[in-house]
Chains A and B, each alone.
Chain A
């Protein structure tokens, strides 16, 4: 009970107790024959101060985990980073995270270590994942000197790969969400966006099972094939 209160007080103060084993962080997994139904997949969304990874910074991390084709709410990540020095005047209107929240946020180094441990080296999915990947890798390197690459997959590629005939207006998260009648409980909230993205991943995984895409390797292959197909179309 005492530990629980300590933990609780710490969370109230905006910090996680720094008790990380930095030498033994989980090893990122690679795509192999592991069945998708047994994999734990991370679906992640970042809120940043802007669009440029060179100068902008991560301010919030939201993520949920998919395991056995379901999202488990007891296995999620929802943190605002403590970055009182950042200039967020331009983006505060989008993500709604104000200066005060940033000052109260979790210590960055601590939060990132916590994230790495929580992710457990599992594959990461995100919508337009290149953006999240660049920001996260940059931040991990700058704050922790951590450079081991994770396996990333782009949900923006995953959806058309399984629903090539879908009648959608654009290529955005909102377009796919609308197609399946999904709605983020709060748009541009990292965790809420991560949940909607994960819901789309569930839809895609359901289709994967029905089209005999059963392993992580088969899934990444399918995405590679999809990307080549897109490139060829572009060249024609």
Chain B
């Protein structure tokens, strides 16, 4: 069969085949396939009907002979649990989705009973037609071999290209020069000997010096390149006045010009430095090539160092935009969502540390303490939208009571909380902050606190478990926290009731899917919005926390907890992998939404309308939520909920 033939005359394609092709085009992987391949599918398609509960495909049918696409209705997979003897639902297949991929590619019977749920129509093609498509269509083959994860690649690619677009959209290059952190230029008078001018450049670690007159008008520029030429060509002795060696009347741009003009001018004249002047032609600053390009390639190490050595709060606040730009860059360079949240967390940690250091310099309360962080920051899962959840673990000095210590520490903590808020870490509405006397405790007090927390198991405590049981230290000695954490884990490991209550609480957080596998929206008021954090990520975070705490896993990070649970054999490696992938995807979609909100100047929220997503993202989101359901099933079985 020559597939190009069928595509050559689309008018000759029967209406019904055209309709099938149009249907397929709405769904991946068909949406990326050539028309000739879709035509081949339609020509060889068979349409069958299954009433509610009919078996569509069974392990007893022998080697799988056909490839199916659900046209309408729903197919449910069932597997027998050998331990319980019960039939468990494994997956659901919705319109536009196909089955059974693994069995067909593996040329074996299916391991899952496929049953229709409600009136269902399926299109199918026989093995020969499948093989033809498999061998001729790259997207189809890719999908069959790699299943949903090949779709994940597509999503990641798109996230990358979106981020690329936002960088390339020159929202950096059309920045006016006066909005740059223009470096205060190093200047000198025309009569200064070259030797002294170079010494001045060396002291300030810059590559250029501007020669100005008394009214600060730029008269010339002298750069390291000029020095090189001067020495190599033995033009003049080092005590020559600089006015004789400078480049006179340097090219300059007004502060209102933008970065793009500056870059063009530099490229044109091979300048590495450009003088920026105000309306009265007075020197306003110097912009260098590396200044311009650092706009586009924010370097993590450099940014971290800059934040970590920021001289004051104002500087720290101004670096927050760099963090956002960095997230764009990271996404554009293909970092996955797990890496990006960790980078954000790292930079946040550095910011917090710097805020603490700057305050200690001004006003050290003189008491050794560990700065604790809880919740998403504790799990190292922060995105751009983040609020403060922190506390203090202090050492009580000889001769003082914990209350004495608190008297000294609380005002200090209050200032830290406020300054962190200025840096973009929203104040915690629930007052889970170090300035709260209940969360500024000694090691013994924290230990008591956790003991009560675990033993009393009140509903309120269970709710707070998502915050306090994910903790980490980011400043100060780590040993006290380590000791505390070990005792907490030990108590939880021994307390089956607490575990069960945690599990029951985690089980309450249902992924936002209805029985019919549609998205379950927040409420009537927000008819079409899903809360990606509460409805999407939380079911994973909560369930994984229960398993991690019950199995003595020390990590607070959800992905790391899953990794560890697989390592100790509590999770099946494949399951752990699928859950990590699903979790990362929801996170990626959430981060992309945040980047978009930021670009549109909107307030950051975790709400999205699935209708705004393209069909591929919608499907992946649904697939990810289904994985959350499977994880919850494990919770249900383990704790007999």
Q: Do A and B bind each other?
A: yes
Known A8-B9, A12-B9, A181-B119: A189·B15 in contact at CB below 8 Å:
yes
**Partner among B5, B12, B19, B22 whose Cβ is within 8 Å of the Cβ of A12:** B12
* B533 part of interface (Cβ distance < 8 Å): no
Per the bound structure, the CA–CA distance linking A23 and B9 in Å amounts to 34
Minimum distance in angstroms from A106 CB to a CB of chain B: 12
Of residues B5, B15, B16, B18, which shows the largest number of chain A Cβ atoms within 10 Å of its Cβ? B16
B15 and A71 contacting across the interface, CB-CB below 8 Å: no
* B45 part of interface (Cβ distance < 8 Å): yes
B54 and A206 contacting across the interface, CB-CB below 8 Å: yes
Minimum distance in angstroms from B341 CB to a CB of chain A: 42
Per the bound structure, the CA–CA distance linking A182 and B71 in Å amounts to 10
Per the bound structure, the CA–CA distance linking A181 and B516 in Å amounts to 15
Minimum distance in angstroms from A103 CB to a CB of chain B: 16
* B46 part of interface (Cβ distance < 8 Å): yes
B48 and A70 contacting across the interface, CB-CB below 8 Å: yes
* B91 part of interface (Cβ distance < 8 Å): no
* A191 part of interface (Cβ distance < 8 Å): yes
* B42 part of interface (Cβ distance < 8 Å): yes
Chain B residues, CB < 8 A from A62: 15
* B47 part of interface (Cβ distance < 8 Å): yes
Interface residues as binary, A195-211 with B (CB distance below 8 Å gives 1, 0 otherwise): 10011001101110010
* A72 part of interface (Cβ distance < 8 Å): yes
Per the bound structure, the CA–CA distance linking A70 and B47 in Å amounts to 6
* A226 part of interface (Cβ distance < 8 Å): no
B18 and A185 contacting across the interface, CB-CB below 8 Å: yes
For window 183-236 of chain A, which residues contact chain B by CB distance below 8 Å?
A: 185-186, 189, 191-192, 195, 198-199, 202-203, 205-207, 210
* B49 part of interface (Cβ distance < 8 Å): yes
* A37 part of interface (Cβ distance < 8 Å): no
A199 and B15 contacting across the interface, CB-CB below 8 Å: no
Minimum distance in angstroms from A41 CB to a CB of chain B: 14
Of residues B12, B22, B54, B121, which shows the largest number of chain A Cβ atoms within 10 Å of its Cβ? B121
Minimum distance in angstroms from A214 CB to a CB of chain B: 16
* A76 part of interface (Cβ distance < 8 Å): yes
* B291 part of interface (Cβ distance < 8 Å): no
Minimum distance in angstroms from B622 CB to a CB of chain A: 20
* B44 part of interface (Cβ distance < 8 Å): yes
Chain B residues, CB < 8 A from A205: 49
Known A74-B44, A206-B50: A195·B16 in contact at CB below 8 Å:
yes
A71 and B72 contacting across the interface, CB-CB below 8 Å: no
Per the bound structure, the CA–CA distance linking A210 and B15 in Å amounts to 32
A70 and B12 contacting across the interface, CB-CB below 8 Å: no
B49 and A206 contacting across the interface, CB-CB below 8 Å: yes
Chain B residues, CB < 8 A from A182: 72
Minimum distance in angstroms from A197 CB to a CB of chain B: 12
* A69 part of interface (Cβ distance < 8 Å): yes
Of residues A12, A73, A185, which shows the largest number of chain B Cβ atoms within 10 Å of its Cβ? A73
* B178 part of interface (Cβ distance < 8 Å): no
**Partner among A12, A73, A78, A191 whose Cβ is within 8 Å of the Cβ of B47:** A73
* A180 part of interface (Cβ distance < 8 Å): yes
Minimum distance in angstroms from B96 CB to a CB of chain A: 15
A74 and B43 contacting across the interface, CB-CB below 8 Å: yes
B49 and A191 contacting across the interface, CB-CB below 8 Å: no
Cβ-closest chain A residue relative to B14: A78
Chain A residues, CB < 8 A from B43: 73-74
A192 and B16 contacting across the interface, CB-CB below 8 Å: yes
* B51 part of interface (Cβ distance < 8 Å): yes
Per the bound structure, the CA–CA distance linking A135 and B15 in Å amounts to 23
Per the bound structure, the CA–CA distance linking A103 and B290 in Å amounts to 72
Cβ-closest chain A residue relative to B122: A70
A202 and B47 contacting across the interface, CB-CB below 8 Å: yes
A186 and B17 contacting across the interface, CB-CB below 8 Å: no
Interface residues as binary, B414-439 with A (CB distance below 8 Å gives 1, 0 otherwise): 00000000000000000000000000
* A87 part of interface (Cβ distance < 8 Å): no
* A64 part of interface (Cβ distance < 8 Å): yes
Q: How many residues of chain A are within 8 Å of chain B by beta carbon? A: 30
**Partner among B12, B19, B48, B50 whose Cβ is within 8 Å of the Cβ of A186:** B19
Chain B residues, CB < 8 A from A175: none
* A11 part of interface (Cβ distance < 8 Å): yes
A206 and B51 contacting across the interface, CB-CB below 8 Å: yes
B12 and A11 contacting across the interface, CB-CB below 8 Å: yes
A203 and B48 contacting across the interface, CB-CB below 8 Å: no
Per the bound structure, the CA–CA distance linking A189 and B19 in Å amounts to 12
Interface residues as binary, B31-61 with A (CB distance below 8 Å gives 1, 0 otherwise): 0000000000011111111110010000000
Per the bound structure, the CA–CA distance linking A199 and B5 in Å amounts to 29
For window 86-104 of chain B, which residues contact chain A by CB distance below 8 Å?
A: none
Per the bound structure, the CA–CA distance linking A182 and B95 in Å amounts to 13
Chain A residues, CB < 8 A from B15: 62, 78, 185-186, 189, 191-192
Chain B residues, CB < 8 A from A72: 46
Chain A residues, CB < 8 A from B182: none
* B20 part of interface (Cβ distance < 8 Å): yes
Per the bound structure, the CA–CA distance linking A5 and B12 in Å amounts to 13
B119 and A73 contacting across the interface, CB-CB below 8 Å: no
Minimum distance in angstroms from B442 CB to a CB of chain A: 66
Minimum distance in angstroms from A192 CB to a CB of chain B: 5
A71 and B14 contacting across the interface, CB-CB below 8 Å: no
Chain A residues, CB < 8 A from B18: 185
Of residues B19, B42, B49, B50, which shows the largest number of chain A Cβ atoms within 10 Å of its Cβ? B49
Per the bound structure, the CA–CA distance linking A191 and B13 in Å amounts to 12
**Partner among A8, A73, A202, A203 whose Cβ is within 8 Å of the Cβ of B16:** A73
Cβ-closest chain B residue relative to A195: B16
Of residues B17, B45, B46, which shows the largest number of chain A Cβ atoms within 10 Å of its Cβ? B46
Minimum distance in angstroms from A86 CB to a CB of chain B: 21
A199 and B49 contacting across the interface, CB-CB below 8 Å: yes
A203 and B19 contacting across the interface, CB-CB below 8 Å: no
Cβ-closest chain B residue relative to A75: B46
A69 and B48 contacting across the interface, CB-CB below 8 Å: yes
Cβ-closest chain B residue relative to A192: B15
Chain A residues, CB < 8 A from B54: 206
For window 113-155 of chain A, which residues contact chain B by CB distance below 8 Å?
A: none
Chain B residues, CB < 8 A from A76: 14, 16
Minimum distance in angstroms from A203 CB to a CB of chain B: 5
Chain B residues, CB < 8 A from A12: 9, 12
B48 and A78 contacting across the interface, CB-CB below 8 Å: no
Chain A residues, CB < 8 A from B20: 73
**Partner among B5, B17, B49 whose Cβ is within 8 Å of the Cβ of A73:** B17
A199 and B12 contacting across the interface, CB-CB below 8 Å: no
A185 and B47 contacting across the interface, CB-CB below 8 Å: no
A71 and B9 contacting across the interface, CB-CB below 8 Å: no
Per the bound structure, the CA–CA distance linking A207 and B20 in Å amounts to 25
A199 and B47 contacting across the interface, CB-CB below 8 Å: yes
Chain A residues, CB < 8 A from B119: 180-181, 203
B49 and A203 contacting across the interface, CB-CB below 8 Å: yes
A71 and B19 contacting across the interface, CB-CB below 8 Å: no
Per the bound structure, the CA–CA distance linking A64 and B15 in Å amounts to 12
A203 and B51 contacting across the interface, CB-CB below 8 Å: yes
| Extra inter-chain contacts (14) besides given A62-B15, A78-B16, A185-B18, CB under 8 Å | A11-B12, A69-B49, A70-B48, A71-B48, A73-B42, A73-B46, A73-B47, A74-B44, A185-B16, A186-B19, A189-B15, A192-B19, A195-B19, A202-B49
**Contact sample, A vs B, 27 pairs, CB 8 Å cutoff:** A8-B9, A12-B9, A12-B12, A69-B48, A70-B46, A71-B46, A73-B14, A73-B16, A73-B17, A73-B43, A73-B44, A73-B47, A74-B43, A74-B44, A76-B14, A76-B16, A78-B14, A180-B119, A181-B72, A191-B15, A198-B47, A199-B47, A202-B47, A202-B121, A203-B51, A206-B49, A206-B51
Q: Which 3 A-B pairs have the closest CB atoms?
A: A185-B19, A202-B49, A71-B47
